[in-house]
Amino acid sequence: MPAKTLTTLQKLKDKGEKIAMLTCYDATLAHACEEAGIDVLLIGDSLGMVLQGHDSTLPVTVSDIAYHTACVKRGAPGALIVADLPFMAYATLEQTFTSAAQLMRAGAHLVKIEGAAWLAESIRQLAERGAPVCAHLGLTPQAVNVLGGYKVQGRGDEQARQLLEDCVAVAEAGAAMLVLECVPSELAARITQAVSVPVIGIGAGPDTDGQVLVIHDMLGLSLSGRTAKFVRNFMQGEGNIQAALRAYVKAVKNREFPAPEHGFSA
């Protein structure tokens, strides 16, 4: 299988083909994901919740993400790897460079940062220095204490206009891809049309360029016993994890998942 790159993703968007992305934190599942045809592996700071058992992503450190990035890289040497810069690891430009360097050295091809238009300068400077950026907008879990909970973002005309403007601003600053989390489906579709780079949704409806889920969620594993509206358990009807991963790739590529019922209204 040829190694996946940012060019692979851009070609998929340009041809109107969907991108399948999952979080991943270890070598064995990374290998299984690569075999199943997942396009992008994300070492998300969700590892703070699903691996470490915290109730938010805030305790995660750059070293935690670097450790799991190296594990994933060993298991899936041909995968396109995105690694999260965790809470407060990009509060200043100097800190942003140091944190990004640690993750790129561990094997990441892109770093992901959460925020809005205020990220533009960091995105520009990272890209200029050889660290492409995936910008994560909408519900940004690192800001849970500012947002007052894990809530849908971009509802109402004013919030929707602001989110669209923010997405355009980060794309113009040089973001190589966007993740949109918990955004009304119709707004996510407009944002996807408005920017030329790939837009990956989670709780953003069926019309983004691709889909990402936390791997534990799509395998039907949950610490809390709760399942978000935008999650489907791909183990149902499948005999093993490998088959569930293949079913996820097929459902995303065939536009069967996410379906309209996995999205949110404005």
**Interacting residues toward ligand KIV by CB under 6 A:** 23, 42, 44-46, 84, 136, 179, 181, 202, 212, 214
| Shortest Å, Cβ 200 to ligand KIV | 8
Question: With DSSP H G I counted as helix, E B as strand and the rest as coil, what are the percentages for the chain, rounded to 5?
Answer: 45, 15, 40
CB-based contacts of 233-237 (< 8 A; 24+ apart in sequence): none
**Which is closer to ligand KIV, CB of 51 or CB of 101?**
51
Helix, strand or coil for residue 30? Answer: helix
Residue 58 CB burial class (10 angstroms; 0-12, 13-18, ≥19): middle
46 known ligand binder: yes
d(CA 202, CA 23): 12
114 known ligand binder: yes
| Shortest Å, Cβ 239 to ligand KIV | 26
| Shortest Å, Cβ 230 to ligand KIV | 10
d(CA 113, CA 223): 25
| Shortest Å, Cβ 93 to ligand KIV | 22
d(CA 169, CA 10): 19
**Which is closer to ligand KIV, CB of 46 or CB of 153?**
46
112 known ligand binder: yes
**Which is closer to ligand KIV, CB of 42 or CB of 62?**
42
Q: Diameter of the chain by CA atoms?
A: 49
- Among this protein's residues, is 181 annotated catalytic? yes
Query: Phi/psi of residue 138, each to 5°?
Result: 95, -130
- CB-based closest residue to ligand KIV: 44
218 neighbors 234 (Cβ within 8 angstroms): yes
63 neighbors 48 (Cβ within 8 angstroms): no
**Which is closer to ligand KIV, CB of 166 or CB of 181?**
181
**Which is closer to ligand KIV, CB of 128 or CB of 224?**
224
| Shortest Å, Cβ 23 to ligand KIV | 4
Options 35, 181, 186, 261, the catalytic residue: 181
Residue with tokens 């990441």: 108
Q: Residues annotated as binding site for Mg(2+)?
A: 45, 84, 114
Q: Residues annotated as binding site?
A: 45-46, 84, 112, 114
Provide the annotated active-site residues.
Answer: 181
